[in-house]
């Protein structure tokens, strides 16, 4: 078991009466890549800013271990020896050239003088910015500025790298490049925190996901283990013609009766109160079933044979979302302050 390098203990941050980060506990081991995922305003950036010492926690502690030392309270560790690199928010790099700017950052991080030039060139090359070395950063595109922000975060070769939405503003190819680079950092044994809304990107590179909502960690595990908590499987079934509103209730009852052995018997009422819903806006049925492939086959057979005179099924699919998207929508949407909500039909795509 690898040693803990970051430990958040009952970390809390308030802005006035509003608790942005609420008693967070999290432990990260050396070499792990953690994805910090959650809706807008969940408290991701606030958490990262506390680790970066831009914000001071109201209560709780951040402990870090660098250079295989002991776990120490971040309050007492000077930022130049803390060996953490940050990218927070979209950088605003004023009137300097990339070269001037990186040299400046290397200097404040006390990166060895004789190695600065090579390091800057190596990273500019890696991020395909070499030609822009002496260009003013204000002339850069958004994506280029973002890449420069990442270079700035890793320039001094920190052990712990914390990136707040590194892929924002990057085109698909640049995102793939960043992903590749994160993998390279992983292979060097770095510990990485990435906050992102790009669930696919996150699930591709992260070892574990910390799901954060309303300032609290609501799940912290591998995507696979988080997915084990998923209790439901959905099927979207599109119909040739809309269903007659008057006949809908008895029809749904009949369907629930016939399909009962294959439907989800423990459906979480936060997700849906009934196992079969009709979505007129999509002209389709959403069925919550037990997740077994055999059941899926039986359901389709019954729908086609026994309901032939009621409707015609034109497609029958499980929503094409990634595992993490499914975990996210169930855990985050189910976790409202009022404690109740339901999935909408936005994922009702016939793909
Ligand atoms: N300086 C501040 N003063 C007052 N409220 C703040 C401040 N900074 C953040 N907040 C509030 O704290 C909450 C958490 O914000 P935070 O930026 O951490 O969210 P986030 O998870 O990073 O969201 P996003 O995905 O939009 O980046 C939000 O409701 C935000 O309005
Ligand atoms: Mg943020």
> Do 156 and 21 belong to one domain?
yes
- Residue 38 alpha carbon, nearest atom of ligand 1: 21
Helical segments of 109-156, H only? 113-126, 142-154
Which ligand is closest in space to the CA of residue 43? Answer: 1
CATH number at residue 53: 3.40.50.300
Give the mutation target among 42, 214, 216 for probing the ligand 1 site: most ligand atoms within 8 A of CB: 42
> Do 158 and 123 belong to one domain?
yes
> Do 103 and 222 belong to one domain?
yes
pLDDT above 50 for 339: no
Q: What's the mean pLDDT in 291-300?
A: 91
> Do 307 and 188 belong to one domain?
no
Residue where a domain stops, chosen among 176, 205, 228 = 228
**Residue 197: HSE in the Cβ half-sphere, 13 Å Cα cutoff:** 8
Q: Give Dmax (Cα) for the chain.
A: 81
> Do 215 and 262 belong to one domain?
no
pLDDT at 15: 97
pLDDT at 259: 97
- The number of distinct structural domains making up the chain is 2
Task: Please tell me which residue, 77 or 30, carries the higher pLDDT value.
Answer: 30
pLDDT above 80 for 198: yes
> Do 265 and 287 belong to one domain?
yes
Ligand 2 centre and the CA of 226: distance in Å? 23
pLDDT band at 145 (very low <50, low <70, confident <90, very high): confident
Task: Please tell me which residue, 246 or 319, carries the higher pLDDT value.
Answer: 246
Is the pTM of the predicted complex or chain greater than 0.85?
Answer: no
Residue 183, domain extent: 4-228
Residue 22 in contact with ligand 1 by CB distance below 6 A = no
> Do 62 and 204 belong to one domain?
yes
Q: What's the mean pLDDT in 231-260?
A: 92
Other Cβ atoms less than 10 A from the Cβ of 338: the count is: 5
pLDDT at 1: 59
> Angle at which helices 142-154 and 98-108 pack, to 10 degrees?
30
List, as one string, the DSSP characters of 37-74. E--TTSSHHHHHHHHTTSS--SEEEEEE--TT---EEG
> Do 141 and 221 belong to one domain?
yes
CATH number at residue 295: 3.30.70.100
pLDDT above 90 for 83: no
Smallest CA separation from ligand 1 atom 12, residue: 20
Nearest to 144, CA basis, from 181, 172, 171, 176: 171
Q: What's the mean pLDDT in 105-112?
A: 88
Residue 42 in contact with ligand 1 by CB distance below 6 A = yes
pLDDT above 60 for 336: no
Ligand 1 centre and the CA of 129: distance in Å? 32
> Do 8 and 74 belong to one domain?
yes
Residue where a domain stops, chosen among 206, 228, 250 = 228
> Do 238 and 214 belong to one domain?
no
**Residue 294: HSE in the Cβ half-sphere, 13 Å Cα cutoff:** 1
The length of the chain is: 351
pLDDT at 300: 97
pLDDT above 80 for 179: yes
> Do 241 and 222 belong to one domain?
no
pLDDT above 70 for 350: no
pLDDT above 80 for 348: no
């Amino acid at each position: 078991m690898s040693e803990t390098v970051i430990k958040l203990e009952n970390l809390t941050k308030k802005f006035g009466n509003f608790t942005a980060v609420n008693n967070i506990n999290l432990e990260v081991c050396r070499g792990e890549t953690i994805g910090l995922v959650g809706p807008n305003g969940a408290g991701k950036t606030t958490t990262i800013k506390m680790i970066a010492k831009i914000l001071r926690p109201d209560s709780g502690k951040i402990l870090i271990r660098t250079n295989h030392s002991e776990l120490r309270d971040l309050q007492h560790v000077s930022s130049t020896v803390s060996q953490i690199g940050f990218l927070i928010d979209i950088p605003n790099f004023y009137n300097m050239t990339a070269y001037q700017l990186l040299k400046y950052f290397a200097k404040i991080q006390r990166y060895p003088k004789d190695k600065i030039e090579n390091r800057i060139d190596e990273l500019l090359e890696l991020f395909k910015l070499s030609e822009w070395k002496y260009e003013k950063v204000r002339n850069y595109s958004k994506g280029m500025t973002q890449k420069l922000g990442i270079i700035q975060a890793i320039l001094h070769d920190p052990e712990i790298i914390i990136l707040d939405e590194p892929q924002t503003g990057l085109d698909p190819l640049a995102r793939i490049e960043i992903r590749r680079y994160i993998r390279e950092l992983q292979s060097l044994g770095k510990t990485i925190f990435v906050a992102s809304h790009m669930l696919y990107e996150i699930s591709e590179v992260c070892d574990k996901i910390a799901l954060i909502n309303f300032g609290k960690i609501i799940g912290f595990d591998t995507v696979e283990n988080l997915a084990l908590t998923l209790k439901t499987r959905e099927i979207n079934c599109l119909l040739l013609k809309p269903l007659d509103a008057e006949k809908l209730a008895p029809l749904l009852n009949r369907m629930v009766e016939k399909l009962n052995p294959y439907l989800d018997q423990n459906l979480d009422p936060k997700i849906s109160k009934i196992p079969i819903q009709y979505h007129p806006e999509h002209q389709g049925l959403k069925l919550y079933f037990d997740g077994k492939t055999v059941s899926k086959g039986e359901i389709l057979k019954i729908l086609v044979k026994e309901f032939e005179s009621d409707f015609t099924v034109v497609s029958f699919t499980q929503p094409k979302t990634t595992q993490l998207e499914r975990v996210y929508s169930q855990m985050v949407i189910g976790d409202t302050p009022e404690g109740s909500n339901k999935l909408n039909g936005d994922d009702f795509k016939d793909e």
